[in-house]
Amino acid sequence: MSTPRPKANSRTMLAADLPAELYEEAVSQADVAISITDLKANILYANQAFERATGYDASELRGKNQSMLSNHTTPRLVYETLWARLAMGKAWSGRLLNQRKDGSPYLADLTITPVHGPDGEVHHYLGMHRDVTDMHQLEQRSRNQKQLIESVVDMAPMAIALLDENGKVILDNQAYKKLVTDVGSREPADVLMEALETQGGGRGGDRPQFLRREGEVRIERPNRPEPRWFSVSTLPLDVAQESADAFFAAATRRCLLLVAVDITPLRMEQEKARTAALKALLAEEEHASALRESLSATLYRLE
Ligand code: FAD
């Protein structure tokens, strides 16, 4: 293979001072499955971690092709990409579905690096892989849970929005999106939070947007005579930072969960019932006053 040789053949001054056996011991005992193959992927060397990962011992592996590990479900295109990269003298990294000696499958996170000889040509390949089955299961589980939660939130009849520390909506559901047409050109979260603040129902503070609050608010609608009523609640949430520098520091960012339930129909029913009760009271009073008047007239006649 006529690919350019990596600079200085990767041998540093320090490495040159170390005895060759140390390299051998280090590779043999490394906790990552390591193999060295010829250019056709026939295994020339496999370390202890490789034996543990695959269930084969070194004598069973020597001379066999790496394809013996294939579970035969990895798409052909993956292998073609792998070999195309190697043919260019470049390293390849990816995931393959492997099979152990006992037939059980495992997901291998593999990196193959071409090894250049002193003549600059590639003579061997170095393979390093880890069993990432558990990690994959966890990733998949959290993806599934995320999808499930998103669907449930999206289907919920109440408007739900998550606000960042600047009050910007970073997540919302369908019911929240529908509010946009109702409250005009403004962000519904701003309108609801403002109403909650001015119409009461919660406790005040320096940064009311980061308090747990709840209350009923009345929202006037542009160009519509009848208002809408919402039962609004806010809940501060500490969301873990995802950046690398927060790995040990466990930094969090403060967000706010806003939930608004449309109680307009309930309010209208209550209004109707109140008006009916008031009418009944008036009618009763009218009836009582008419009775009073006829009684006084009768009394007058009797006198
Ligand atoms: P293959 O006959 O290998 O063919 C697959 C595709 O690769 C075809 O398009 C073919 O043309 C191309 N191809 C195959 N050999 C070469 C070559 N020498 N030069 C150029 N193109 C070629 N596979 C696994 O499934 N699991 C592993 O853990 C794994 N580890 C590997 C580690 C190293 C260091 C190397 C070099 C390869 C590794 N492979 C691994 C790849 C393996 O060698 C096979 O290519 C793969 O398993 C598919 O085998 P196959 O018999 O189905 O198809």
Kindly report the protein residue whose alpha carbon is nearest to atom 13 of ligand 1: 83
Residue 42, C-beta contacts closer than 8 angstroms, at least 6 positions apart: 63, 64, 65, 66
Contacts for 36 with CB less than 8 Å, ≥ 6 apart: 43, 44, 45, 115, 124, 125, 126, 127
Q: What is the pLDDT of residue 237?
A: 93
| Contacting residues for 199 by C-beta, under 8 A, at least 6 apart | 215, 216, 217, 218
Question: What average pLDDT does the segment 276-289 reach?
Answer: 91
CA 24 to chain centre: 43
pLDDT digits (tens, 9 = 90+) for 88-104: 999 999 999 999 999 99
Distance of CA 299 from the midpoint of ligand 1 (Å): 116
Q: What is the mean pLDDT of the chain?
A: 89
35 CA closest ligand 1 atom index: 34
Give the C-alpha separation, 29 to 20, whole Å: 15
- By most ligand atoms within 8 Å of CB, the mutation choice from 35, 51, 65, 79 for ligand 1 is 79
**Is the predicted pLDDT of residue 14 greater than 90, yes or no?**
no
Q: What is the pTM of this model?
A: 0.76
Q: Which residues, 6+ apart, have CB-to-CB distance to 95 below 8 Å?
A: 107, 108, 109, 110, 132, 136
Sign of CA dihedral 159, 163, 169, 172: negative
pLDDT confidence of 76, banded at 50, 70, 90?
A: very high
Q: Look up residue 127 and give its amino acid.
A: G
| Ligand 1 centroid from CA 53, angstroms | 19
Residue ID of nearest Cα to ligand 1 atom 25: 70
Higher pLDDT, 184 or 276: 276
pLDDT in tens, 210-227: 788 899 999 987 777 888
> 2 falls in which pLDDT band (50, 70, 90)?
very low
pLDDT mean over 118-145: 96
Which of 6-10, 70-74, 103-107, 256-260 is predicted with the least confidence, judged by mean pLDDT? 6-10
Q: Whose CA is nearest to atom 30 of ligand 1?
A: 66
Strand pairing partners for 106? 98
Residue 247 pLDDT grade (very low, low, confident, very high; cuts 50, 70, 90): confident
Average the pLDDT over 199-203 and give the result: 61
User: Using an 8 Å Cβ cutoff, are 136 and 107 in contact?
Assistant: yes
Q: What is the pLDDT of residue 5?
A: 52
Distance 41 CA to ligand 1 centre (A): 7
Q: Which whole number is the average pLDDT over 8-28?
A: 77
Q: When comparing pLDDT for 224 and 32, which is higher?
A: 32
**Residues with Cβ within 6 A of ligand 1?**
35, 37, 39-41, 65-67, 69-70, 74, 79-80, 83, 87, 96, 98, 108, 110, 112, 125, 127, 129
pLDDT recorded at residue 143: 96
Give residue-wise pLDDT tens across range 143-198: 999 999 999 999 999 999 999 988 899 999 999 999 987 777 789 999 999 999 88
Rg, C-alpha atoms of the chain: 37
Q: How far apart are CA 299 and CA 279, in angstroms?
A: 30
> By alpha-carbon position, which residue is closest to atom 24 of ligand 1?
70
Distance CA 99, CA 9 (A): 34
Confidence (pLDDT) at 13: 59
Predicted confidence (pLDDT) at residue 108 exceeds the cutoff of 50 = yes
